[in-house]
Amino acid sequence: EVCIVAERDGELVGVLAGYPYSEGARRGRRIDVHAFRRAAPWRWPKLVRIARAERSLDPPIPPGSWYIDALAVTQDHRRAGVGRALLGEAETRARAAGCRLLSLHTGIDNSGARAFYKSAGMEVRGTVYASPAVRALGIPDRGGVSYVKEV
């Protein structure tokens, strides 16, 4: 219900997962419940610490956003318009859902994605840097950058 799939000649070449951000808390709880069901109870405290630490790397999402949770294009099909087509469909779905913005996060060090989002007309909304406590948990991300675009 949240994935947009791109195919070429029957081959999967890209996918975008997104939804109105107002649904984010409900969707996040479903993911957490799924993860906890698969883990032994004695691992739950560490899972909670890691989940909180990872969420601390996400800059705030503006209200009224359609949130892009993931965007991926196969290596062989990058720079061929697949990502732009997926973003275009996301804009269409955002407008249909009554959202005024597209929003997403990416890692500070993901220079390829950051260049793509900039070229697609998205603007940096905020940056969050990982704290020493987050790094101590072994999370490799140095932080996150949020992007927005009016639709």
**pLDDT tens-digit profile of 54-73?**
666 677 788 899 999 999 99
- Altogether, the residues listed in the chain come to a count of 151
Can you give the pLDDT at residue 41?
Answer: 83
pLDDT of res. 27? 67
Distance separating alpha carbons of residues 137 and 57, to the nearest angstrom? 13
Q: How confident is the model at residue 98 (pLDDT cuts 50, 70, 90)?
A: very high
Mean pLDDT of the chain: 86
Say which residue, 43 or 117, is predicted with more confidence: 117
List for the chain the helix, strand, coil content (%; round to 5): 45, 30, 25
- Please, where are the H alpha helices in 57-151? 82-96, 111-119, 132-136
**Which contiguous run of DSSP H or E holds residue 86?**
helix 82-96
**How far is it between the farthest Cα atoms of the chain?**
47
